[in-house]
Amino acid sequence: MRLAKFLAHAGVASRRGAEEIVRAGRVSVAGATVTDPARDVDADSGVAVDGRFLEGEEERMVFVVHKPAGVVSTARDTHGRRTVVDLVPARGARLYPVGRLDAESTGLMLVTNDGDLANRLTHPSFEVPKTYRAVVRPSPVSAHALRVMREGVELDDGITAPARVRQVRPGVLELTIHEGRNHQVRRMCEAVGHRVRTLERIRFGPLRLDDLPPGGHRRLKAAEVEVLRRGALR
């Protein structure tokens, strides 16, 4: 198994995060520093991160979390703010968030130690859809602005892919996108003349937020994880 994949399976980080850790010289195999994420290893290779040997794979877990406003979507925060991982009792597992929401946005996030799944759910090539509910001002949003967002909005980092957009009531939009640009929904709305007042993610792939309360979490059942995995393979 490739080293980056081995680290992801062991719950160290996502696949891409594991590659960065290896390239930074933080990983050793049989006592020798390795910087090639493609190096072949197995459970008997003596893989260590920052001098600490890995003791086999952790049980893989995936949690749905309802992120409240003010909670940051990282595993750790240097400023001491509460993180989305803090909302899940880790029981010693090395969990990290799948993708991000900005601090003031709320809604559905996934937290896991399954690096392969995290990579598939966040990589643009897999086009996993995410649905948001945005309250915007001024209200209502014109038919022209809705059409522009559906066809693609010109942003400073290029035109967006077509989105599914509907105005559920004046000034309240539901948008489904499959890209992962920074602050994409907010920037799309601003590009057509509407500032986002509140933003909530209500769906990630086949998973819905439903009645999970803010700050709450639940562990996905094996069947739900399999549906999520299959959806990321399409």
| Residues taking part in catalysis | 102
Tokens for 192? Answer: 């057509």
Within a 13 Å sphere around the CA of 93, how many CA atoms are in the beta-carbon half? 24
* Rg value, the chain, Cα: 19
Residue 22 and residue 41 in contact, taking contact as beta carbons nearer than 8 Å:
no
Please identify which residue in the block is written with the tokens 């009531």: 169
Calculate the CA dihedral of residues 106, 111, 115, 121 and round it to 10 degrees.
-40
How far apart CA 29 and CA 110 sit, in angstroms, is 31
Tokens for 170? Answer: 């004046």
Within a 13 Å sphere around the CA of 60, how many CA atoms are in the beta-carbon half? 16
- Provide the 10 A C-beta neighbour count for residue 1: 14
For residue 153, the SS3 value is coil
- Provide the 10 A C-beta neighbour count for residue 216: 13
Residue 74's nearest CA partner among 103, 49, 53 is: 103
